[in-house]
Chains A and B, each alone.
Chain A
């Protein structure tokens, strides 16, 4: 038998009889399962999810569900095809034994695999003080249960809602509160809402928009503590400037934490920023060497992106989950040279205050911004982000149809400022600083250190962080 024939036979056998385990039963896990079957994989497929629900869609949770228009349990994702899988729902994966090729579950069971897909996503960062976080009326918003509980609390109705953190989720919650005619205070540590994602120039516009809609927005401030009544229900928040705000619903929207703890000790390149993988979704081990049997997709995946100087990007976007899962699934049942890269131009949207904010590319990669179309005053515009003379991202407020134009320019490394799109140009098209916050100082010691002195022994070792 020639070598290529052997390889072809291996692929055929694996597709017929292999065992694939997917950890994570959300959008990425489901679409990966469907794509595997689509690719002709007929072996055994197991999908493990820590929530008791079938895969559901998250974007409606912070909008339709909170408004009370759609019940939280109506968000189950549509199925594109039969996946014929063993579903293990409501059980958490607690460990990975790569030597034995087994996933360990919380109920003690070990699930063997030939190939594994890690799609464990992220979870909401909880309010850091556990006693205060446990008060009735304190919520986060990530899961279906979170949305159902928060919706109920908003419908009560509360006398005032306090939102901590003005990222996308916090801003969307504030927007829903105003639509429900609820008084809402938003406290944001940064200089304006959405600053981390879109910079200070756009942040100022978002701040104005929130205030115009009656949000009591307080920037440059933190919440130092939450105070409950004798019944254990939250009643007020103490801000870092000494102000006290009465509120009986508090939503902590403090960003997300990647679900990587279960991989501790498995020897993969996993940590705070996610699980490192190549552009084909193949996980890196702790030494930075690509694995053959472990793949990553969705929010928890972190891979180098050609357009952004091969920096490792983790993208918490809907289409990243879908397309990353499809690429990983394809690569799981094929071998070189038939691997497919996942080279998405990142993009997200957020509906808030009756307005659609969309973006392509990676705005924080840029340091300058220029308004290219429409009118900021009317909140109907497009703006491009640049870095060293190249366009790297664009954002639109109710101007989404033009995003494709900017997307093409970004993909082709077009110049910054970009060529005028020839329509509806603002009078001033001078680039200005985009005002992203300085990258933070290192917040923790590294998890991984080098061992060995001899080049042949040199390797990396995981050093568990003291929490």
Chain B
């Protein structure tokens, strides 16, 4: 699956880090880095992380089973 984080909006609440620590990391107190292409196995954790973000900064693929091919 694919995700992007709007880091303008992100304020380092770190809810995503608690819920999907394999895919979201804080460097220091506020600077978030993330795995833009998490394993589909971890979709549930990533979706929970996105839902829990207080500022809704995590953008998730909304195409079902998206391979997101360039011809879509």
A84 adjacent to chain B (CB < 8 Å) = yes
Q: Pick the contact of A317: B2, B8, B27 (CB < 8 A).
A: B8
B3 to chain A, nearest CB (A): 6
Which residues in chain A, 341-355, are within 8 Å of chain B measured between CB atoms? 347-349, 351-352, 354-355
Q: Is A83 a contact partner of B72 (Cβ separation < 8 A)? A: yes
Known: A78-B2, A79-B72, A89-B70. A355 touches B30 (CB 8 A): yes
Contact B28 A398 (CB under 8 A): yes
Partner among A59, A83, A87 whose Cβ is within 8 Å of the Cβ of B7: A59
Give Cα distance in the complex from A319 to B4, angstroms. Answer: 12
| Inter-subunit contact B36/A79 (CB<8 Å) | no
Q: How many A residues have CB within 8 A of the partner chain?
A: 41
In the complex the two chains form, is B33's CB within 8 Å of A351's CB? yes
A401 & B33 in contact (Cβ 8 Å cutoff) = no
Binds B, one of A67-75, A244-252, A430-438: A67-75
Of the candidates A70, A75, A89, A318, which one forms a contact with B8 in the assembled complex, judged by CB atoms under 8 Å apart? A318
* Residue pair A75, B27 in contact (C-beta under 8 Å): no
Q: A6-33, CB under 8 A of B: which get 1 and which 0?
A: 0000000000000000000000000000
B4 and chain A: residue at smallest CB distance: A57
Q: Are B31 and A355 in contact (CB under 8 A)?
A: yes
Distance in angstroms from A213 CB to nearest chain B CB is 12
CB proximity to A under 8 Å, residues B23-42? 27-37
CA distance A319 to B55 in the complex (A): 14
Task: Name, among B10, B36, B62, the residue most crowded by chain A CB atoms within 10 Å (CB to CB).
Answer: B36
Any A CB within 8 A of the CB of B19? no
A79–B32 contact, CB under 8 A?
no
In angstroms, Cα B12 to Cα A398, docked, is 9
Residues from chain B with Cβ under 8 Å of A77 in the complex? 2, 4
* B68–A64 touching, CB < 8 Å: no
Given A60-B33, A77-B2: A349 and B7 interface contact (C-beta under 8 Å): yes
Docked Cα-Cα span, A356 to B29, in Å, equals 8
One of B7, B33, B35, B61 near A79 (C-beta < 8 A) = B61
User: Which of B6, B7, B29, B59 neighbours the largest number of chain A CB atoms within 10 Å of its CB?
Assistant: B7
Residue in chain A with minimal CB distance to B62:
A80
Closest CB of chain B to A372's CB: distance in Å?
18
**B70 pairs with A87, CB closer than 8 A:** yes
In the complex, residue of chain B having the shortest beta-carbon distance to the beta carbon of A357: B31
5 closest Cβ pairs, A-B complex: A351-B31, A354-B28, A356-B30, A74-B37, A78-B61
- Mark A residues whose CB is within 8 Å of B: 54, 57, 59-60, 63-64, 67, 69-70, 74-85, 87, 89, 317-319, 322, 347-349, 351-352, 354-356, 358, 380, 398, 400-401, 403
Measured CB to CB, the residues of B under 8 A from A are 1-4, 6-12, 27-37, 59-63, 66, 68, 70-72
